[in-house]
Structure 1
Amino acid sequence: MKRTMVVWLVLMAATVVSWYLGDGHGTRRLATVVVLAVAFVKVYLVGRYFMELREAPRVLRLLFGAWTLVVCAVLVAIFIVTDH
């Protein structure tokens, strides 16, 4: 099986997990954090495997990975701090 097919299947499974949690399963706070994390894993996978970052220069790959991690962490932190 081709790598892109495996990644596509992982993306579809991640979408199902996000939908399931977003449909009221689990606690709202935990579900929101998990959905955000899953969304950024999906962003990373799409960038890496479908936008050809896999073959980009190392610096660009590292910057993209760092950006994904930092933005996800900031959004989760904002949600946790501002959630009442």
Structure 2
Amino acid sequence: MTRPSSSVYVPRQTLAVWVALVGFTATTWAIGGHQIFTPTIVTAAVLAIAIVKIRFIGSYFMELRCAPAALARSFDLYLAILYLGLMGMYIWL
């Protein structure tokens, strides 16, 4: 009887996306942790990075990159409306 392999196969693209998500998280932490920029610029940058992370997760881990074009575009539209809405509320409220 053979023993199961202890290594786990992870596709390169999935690994690259995961590394990018970790990098975006570190960037968000670095931007938010320092008082170099104004709060509005920091908020805009952190929200933009969060939207990009959501896009990566939706595309690669929820398989929206292989979904019908209408579904993928509606997800992109949702993210754009979400970003603009959150920034609008932050600026005007």
What TM-score comes out, normalization by structure 2 length?
Answer: 0.81
Unmatched 5+ stretches in structure 1: none
What TM-score comes out, normalization by structure 1 length?
Answer: 0.88
* Aligned AA (2:15): M
Distance in 1 (CA, whole Å) between partners of 2:57 and 2:35 is: 26
Residue 24 of structure 1: aligned partner: 34
* Aligned AA (1:16): A
Give every structure 1 segment of 4 or more consecutive aligned residues whose post-TM-superposition deviation is greater than 3 Å: none
Q: Secondary structure at the match of 2:18?
A: helix
- Number of residue pairs the alignment of both structures matches: 82
Q: Say what the alpha-carbon RMSD is for the aligned residues.
A: 1.3
Residue 57 of structure 2: aligned partner: 46
Residue 20 of structure 2: aligned partner: 10
Residue 75 of structure 2: aligned partner: 64
* Aligned AA (1:11): L
Q: Which moved more, 1:47-56 or 1:72-81?
A: 72-81
> Quick one: which of 22, 28, 34 aligns to 2:45?
34
**Which structure dedicates a bigger proportion of its chain to helix?**
1
Structure 1 vs Structure 2: percent identity of aligned residues?
33
Distance in 2 (CA, whole Å) between partners of 1:25 and 1:17 is: 14
